[in-house]
Amino acid sequence: MKFALAGNPNSGKTTLFNALTGSTAHVGNWPGVTVDKKEGVYKKLSEKIDIVDLPGIYSLSPYSPEEVVSRNFLLNEKPDLIINIIDATNLERNLYLTTQLLELDTPIVIALNMIDSVEKNGDAINALELEEKLGAPVIEISALKQRGIHKLMERAYQEAKKSRVGESVFEGTKYQNLFFEIKKLYENEGVDNICFHTVKMFEGDQIEKEKYPDIACVADKIKDSIDTGDFEGDFEGIVADLRYKKIIKDYATAYKRSKPKEAMTRSDKIDKVLTHRVFAIPMFLLIMFAVFHLTFSEDFLYLGAIGIIPKGSFSLPVIGEDAIPSPGVLLYNCIEELTTLIGNALYSSLPKGAWYTSLLVDGLFSGLSSVLSFIPQIMVLFLFLTILEDSGYMARVAFIMDRAGRKFGLSGRSFMPLIMCFGCAVPGIMATRTLENEAERRRTVMLTPFFSCGAKLPIWAAFGGVFAQAFSVINAEAVVYGMYILGIAVAIIAAMILNKTLVKGDMPPFIMELPAYHAPQFKNLVLHLWDKLKHYLARAATVIAGSVVVIWFLTSFNFSWQMVDDPSDSIIGNIGKFISFIFVPLGFGMGENGWKFVVAAFTGLIAKEMVVASIGTFSGMDGGTALETDGSELLGTPMAALMLGIGGVIGGLDVSIPAMLSFLAFNLLSVPCMAAVASANAELGDKKSLIIAIIFWLATSYTMSLVIFWVGAFFVWNWWAALITVLGIAAILITLAALSAKGLLKTRKIKKETKAGKSEECVKEGL
Ligand code: GDP
Ligand code: MG
């Protein structure tokens, strides 16, 4: 048997689905998390039950991808039963969907979820009364506390064996006769779900009219003949009104409040502060800074810097000197100690000078450990971001950003997939499917790389570490935080430019329901982090390890297949030196070692972790910064070597901060990894759009890096640096203008369906 889970967003579908099937699907706080349906099995009844988790919906109208997915599933695949899950704390609103599901012939049970919250408020629901009035079983459950779940399934199992005929809200209203007349038209057609179809035809639903054009014709005539009063022919409005009236009159009376509904809930009060017109954005920046401070700061709460811990108090392994590290750094230090031990053991047990020692130590160990060392910090950061998401704050961020970004062409709706990109761009790009507006969707896909993903984090952390060590003016957390904020800022500017040039198109208003704040679920956090960790380790063991071996090989041999001592004589060294002139204007292509950065940036196309892994491998193999500095044993960890490598690399220039910042910006803003490019290709739909997107990413990253390097250089060197910057930017703008004049970014026609259902031709520029 097959049961479908249907309900509003945030009603707890995924939580119930996980509880039923033992699965670990992501419980999210915003639409778009479950665009596609998910399937699992419930095994605790005498028969196995397939459970399908449908996307969250408010109605079965044809206006959003979620609604269409759910509707098609319910009508065409005919589950044996629908479990309609309801957030009982919002009974009235949730019953709106219920009135629509009741129109189907499919048996249905109603799961009154979050009954724990209802009880906590001191309220109660008369489930029996509700059951009588709805004409379908009503079972109180708590998906979260796993209460009433088996009872729900037993009841559902009984119910699924019965047959059911759909019921509408029309009975006893003044539209009853009209309804019956339309219904008769279907009776001759021999379709099932007649009640549902009749209601849809009454509403003038587009999908329905296309499917039954003959009936639509007759129905339109019947509808024309009646007086709709204030509704002025808005039949959809009439039905909505009937539904609400019935809910308020018949169903909502089952909810017994212990005290009158408070005008302001706790969430409202918190929102008064966190979504304040003026303070919302500073507050967001502050919260994010706190997160990065907790993850990357060597000096927690600046206890050392402000002198609470006096100078010379202590110098300890793992902890550090005269300061207490943040939790993220503490974990990192532990891992660093561990890698030193492993590295030493590995190095001393292998014969010196053998090619496989080089492969294992300089290649695999240096490359992989430079990526893996950051796992604790990545996990700590994700923990904080997940807490922010799960508590409901991230949904507010979308709301705040809508208010701030709308003027620039970035709506809150596109912000939600973008926030997902902080984890990984692939699901983020896929989530853009929830955006109805095509132009907005394409724009959003093009912005995804700017939201720094988890795989880029090792780059920021490694360089942040170098900055902190080499130039005590900047600390690590500021570098990492800066990269995230830079990404968001560039995204806003880029949205504005895209909105005016490549992907024009207006933005529909953003309506979003803000979930109530609640404490994050421990189990949920653990599952989520475990998922990330698994994913990360799997990548390290496959793609990254494989690529590191290739990089090691290309760095160890020259074109005549002989092993070389100096990496710059190697295959990759020669190629790198050949192409690095392109990056000389950006600073990091300069000097003797510039090619290493260039190659590292290129390997980032495979996976962004490769940027650090490649530099780690180069450092491991470079005589000057090798691990075996004193000949017998490793002096430091690969990370230390990596830092030395980075810190000492920009040859010829005594100042490397601008070049390094430019390198970071380039990696942040440029073409994302292959997996993300493939998803972007799938979502953009055609090769030309993808090519434009790639050019756009390259142009953005190149320009930003150029600006950063030369503005930085200006502070460090001369005024003429500023002049070069201006000329460089002008050159890029002229190239872009020339490209668009040549018709590369031509106009093309897109057929657009309007809401009213009439199809019209409209011309859109660009993509
Ligand atoms: P979906 O959008 O319908 O898939 O809903 P989710 O499963 O993602 O849940 C939305 C939020 O409601 C999550 O934060 C859950 O932890 C919370 N939630 C789900 N079920 C319950 C419940 O029975 N009681 C309470 N108090 N919270 C719940
Ligand atoms: Mg869900």
Give residue-wise pLDDT tens across range 334-349.
Answer: 888 888 788 878 878 8
Residue-level pLDDT at 602? 94
Pocket flag, ligand 1, residue 656 (CB < 6 Å): no
pLDDT surpasses 70 at 470: no
Q: Residue 391, SS3?
A: coil
Task: Report which residue type is found at 690.
Answer: L
Confidence class for position 287, pLDDT limits 50, 70, 90: very high
Which residue owns the Cα nearest ligand 1 atom 22?
114
Name which residue leads in pLDDT, 404 or 638: 404
Best mutation site among 10, 17, 66 for ligand 1, i.e. most ligand atoms within 8 A of its Cβ? 10
pLDDT tens readout for residues 495-523: 888 888 877 777 777 767 778 888 888 88
Nearest CA to ligand 1 atom 25: 114
CA of 231 to the centre of ligand 2 (A): 35
Of the candidate ranges 222-236, 529-543, 724-738, 750-764, the one whose mean pLDDT is the lowest: 750-764
Average pLDDT over residues 434-461: 89
Question: Whole-angstrom Cα distance, residue 418 to residue 425?
Answer: 8
How far is residue 375 from each of residues 237, 326, 694, measured CA to CA in Å?
53, 15, 29
The answer on pLDDT for 611 being more than 80 is: yes
Residue keyed to tokens 């700017």: 450
Query: Any idea which ligand is nearest the CA of 8?
Result: 1
Domain residue ranges of the chain, discontinuous segments joined by +: 2-160, 176-256, 280-319+375-445+454-522
Q: What is the pTM of this model?
A: 0.73
pLDDT of residue 566: 80
Contacts 24+ apart (CB under 8 A), 35-42: 35/65, 35/66, 35/69, 35/430, 35/431, 35/433, 35/434, 36/69, 37/69, 37/70, 37/73, 42/3, 42/153
* Confidence label for 472 from pLDDT (cuts 50, 70 and 90): low
List pLDDT tens digits, range 292-309: 999 988 888 888 888 888
Indicate the average pLDDT of the chain: 83
140-151 average pLDDT score: 95
pLDDT-derived band at 132, boundaries 50, 70, 90: very high
The CATH number of 176-256, from 1.10.8, 1.10.287, 1.25.40, 2.60.120, is: 1.10.287
Chain centroid to CA 83: 28
Over residues 127-141, the mean pLDDT reads: 94
User: How does residue 651 score in pLDDT terms, banded at 50, 70 and 90?
Assistant: very low
Report pLDDT for 237.
87
Give the percent of the chain with pLDDT over 90.
Answer: 37
- 169 versus 464: the higher-pLDDT residue is 169
Q: What's the length of the chain?
A: 767
Domains 2-160 and 176-256 are alike in CATH topology: no
What spacing in Å lies between the alpha carbon of 708 and ligand 1's midpoint?
A: 44
pLDDT tier at 643, thresholds 50, 70, 90:
low
pLDDT of residue 335: 86
Pick the most confident of 147-151, 326-330, 385-389, 657-661.
Answer: 147-151
Ligand nearest 89 Cα, by number?
A: 1
pLDDT at 690 over 90: yes
* 575-584, 590-599, 600-609: the lowest-pLDDT one: 590-599
* 757-765, long-range: CB < 8 A, 24+ apart: 757/204, 757/206, 757/209, 764/438, 764/439, 764/504, 764/505, 765/502, 765/503, 765/504
Winning range, highest mean pLDDT, from 407-411, 420-424, 448-452, 548-552:
448-452
Q: Residue 283 — pLDDT band, cuts 50, 70, 90?
A: very high
Beta carbon of 5 within 6 Å of any ligand 1 atom:
no
Q: What integer pLDDT is reported at residue 471 of this predicted model?
A: 65
Ramachandran assignment for 218, one of left (phi > 0), alpha (psi -120 to 50 degrees), beta (any other): alpha
Ligand 1 pocket: which of 27, 58, 389, 522 to mutate (most atoms within 8 A of CB): 27
> What band does 640 get if pLDDT is binned at 50, 70 and 90?
low
CA 589 / ligand 2 centre spacing (Å): 46
- Higher pLDDT, residue 766 or 551: 551
Mean per-residue pLDDT, 159-187 = 92
Say if ligand 1 is within 6 A of residue 56 CB: yes
User: Which amino acid is residue 689, in one-letter code?
Assistant: S
- CA dist 589 and 580 (Å) reads 5
Question: Band of the pLDDT at 737, cuts 50, 70, 90?
Answer: low
2-160 falls under which CATH superfamily? P-loop containing nucleotide triphosphate hydrolases (3.40.50.300)
Q: Is the pLDDT of residue 604 over 70?
A: yes
Counting ligands in written order, the one closest to the CA of 36 is 2
Structural contact between residues 197 and 208, judged by C-beta atoms closer than 8 angstroms: yes
- When pLDDT is cut at 50, 70 and 90, the band that residue 487 belongs to is very high
Q: What is the average per-residue pLDDT within 42-50? A: 91
**Is the predicted pLDDT of residue 582 greater than 70, yes or no?**
yes
Read off the pLDDT of residues 313-337 as tens digits, 9 standing for 90 and up: 888 888 888 888 888 889 988 888 8
Kindly state if the Cβ of 15 falls inside 6 Å of ligand 1. Answer: yes
